[in-house]
Amino acid sequence: MIETTRRRLLQVSAVLAAALLAGGLLAAPAQAEPVTLQWQTANLTEPQFEPVWKAMIAEFEAANPDVHIEPILVARKDDWTKFVTASQARRAPCVVQEDLATAAYDGYLMPLDKFWAAEPPAFRAAYSDDIMAAMHWKGALYGVPIWGGVFAEIYNTDMLKAAGLDPAHPPTTIAEYLDWMRKLTKPGQWGTAVLGGPTDTTTRVLLTWIWANGGEAFNADMTRATFAANPKTLEAIKTYLGLVQQGLAAPSPNTTNYLEQTVLFGQGKIAAMRSAYWAIAKVAVDNPAMAGKMSVGPVPGNGATLALLSPASISSSCKYPDQAWKFIKFQAEKKWALERARVSNWMPLRNDMTHEPEIAQDPLLQRFLEIGAKARSYPLPHPAWAEIGTVDIVKAVQRALLEPAQTDQIFRDLDTLLTKKLNDL
């Protein structure tokens, strides 16, 4: 009897509450606001990635209505400074893609070991030990590899054919490369571009010249810089920067960055550019007539090149690490790795995608993957690297371009400066 009465009271209460809600006399329970995760990477400003990241956010939010992703768009040259400033104020975006070693050393990133360990073996097995080694600092995991970029030589096939050169047989030695650059240079057109602009792309391309020439910019444990001390390194630097003095490279190298180089290439002002796979998509966006008119060759020399690794990390400022980890895993899914390769020309870092149709049917991507077999990872693993790679090396290159006769002394001074920085930490 008591139980029956209780049930009737509950039913009456429910009916009364529904009536009050319908009449607007009783407020509905407040819905929790979705968690907002800020996401910062300089790549968000690049047009070939825009359709991918917008689709990625839309699909993630649809599957996770309790999480809102706020993209932070920042120019490449300002990206690191903005991240550091926000980190020091404990207001950095939750999900970031920054120089891992430097950011981890400075305490700006959150260790991810507990998240990684909780994932199934199949997820962890999708990445090689070598790639995962680059995701660690002092034994702790600070990033998940999202995409990579192997640097190679990209050629305008129409310009090659006009110069009597065979796109199917690109130069493999530096001497052959210099010969090609001479044949591709004429009034209003240059063989290539030298990058000396104020971003670390200047450093990336310089390292490809050094490594392919058998040189080293640092000793094995990164306690000493060897830009001038290593004869092969200095020779490579002089050969590369000498392209400007010989008139084989486009003018104004000190303001030529990644974007400027791709614009020159897309406009037919230069016949070759040294860049990563994503530059092909950028050129096709700038000038659709260039689609299908690009070929790829190895970095001339011993074939050694550079592969930029882009890890997704969680900032130590993040208040929602669980949601941030969920978004990082979502970015790392095979579907989005394929979309980045197909649309943005960013190479996947997963080792379980070689036979995916979207990759197997793209000869340029396959060529980059082959060239990448001799690639060395970048950024270099040192907590001072952000400043070294973006500021110090760039300034030395810019000085040497303005004062070529002082190149030896400029890079001796750089060795002294960098050796001190490497050992001050």
Does residue 331 sit in the same domain as residue 420? no
Question: At residue 281, does pLDDT exceed 90?
Answer: no
Does residue 170 sit in the same domain as residue 214? yes
41 φ, ψ to 5°?
-155, 140
- pLDDT tens-place string over residues 253-262: 999 999 999 9
Question: At residue 402, does pLDDT exceed 50?
Answer: yes
Reported confidence tier of residue 193, pLDDT bands at 50, 70, 90: very high
- pLDDT tens-place string over residues 363-380: 888 898 889 888 888 889
Please report whether residue 360 resides in a domain: yes
Does residue 275 sit in the same domain as residue 363? no
Please report whether residue 9 resides in a domain: no
Does residue 257 sit in the same domain as residue 114? no
Please report whether residue 30 resides in a domain: no
Does residue 67 sit in the same domain as residue 88? yes
Last residue in a domain, options 339, 369, 399: 369
Cis peptide before 121 (omega within 30 of 0): no
Domain that holds residue 238: 150-307+380-424
pLDDT of residue 334: 93
Does residue 332 sit in the same domain as residue 360? yes
Does residue 252 sit in the same domain as residue 315? no
pTM metric for this prediction? 0.77
Dump strand ranges (E) for 86-210. 95-96, 136-137, 140-141, 144-156
- pLDDT tens-place string over residues 208-252: 999 999 999 999 999 999 999 999 999 999 999 999 999 999 999
Please report whether residue 13 resides in a domain: no
Report d(CA 258, CA 203) in Å as an integer.
Answer: 11
Reported confidence tier of residue 5, pLDDT bands at 50, 70, 90: very low
Does residue 159 sit in the same domain as residue 144? no
3-state SS, residue 352: coil
Does residue 182 sit in the same domain as residue 251? yes
Reported confidence tier of residue 180, pLDDT bands at 50, 70, 90: very high
- pLDDT tens-place string over residues 57-106: 999 999 999 999 999 999 988 999 999 999 999 999 999 999 898 999 99
Please report whether residue 6 resides in a domain: no
Residues in the chain: 425
Does residue 406 sit in the same domain as residue 281? yes
Q: Return the CATH number at 202.
A: 3.40.190.10
* Residue 117 CA: distances (Å) to CA of 159, 309, 324: 52, 22, 16
Does residue 324 sit in the same domain as residue 403? no
Please report whether residue 319 resides in a domain: yes
Last residue in a domain, options 342, 369, 396: 369
- pLDDT tens-place string over residues 29-53: 455 688 999 999 999 998 889 999 9
Please report whether residue 88 resides in a domain: yes
Please report whether residue 22 resides in a domain: no
pLDDT of residue 32: 67
Place of tokens 């310089």: 206
Buried b (16+ CB within 10 A) or exposed e, 205-236: bbbbbbbbbebbbbeeebeebbbbebeebbbb
Q: Is the dihedral of CA 120, 125, 129, 133 positive or negative?
A: negative
Q: What percent of the chain has pLDDT over 90?
A: 72
Does residue 126 sit in the same domain as residue 221? no
Quote the number of domains for the chain: 2
pLDDT of residue 152: 97
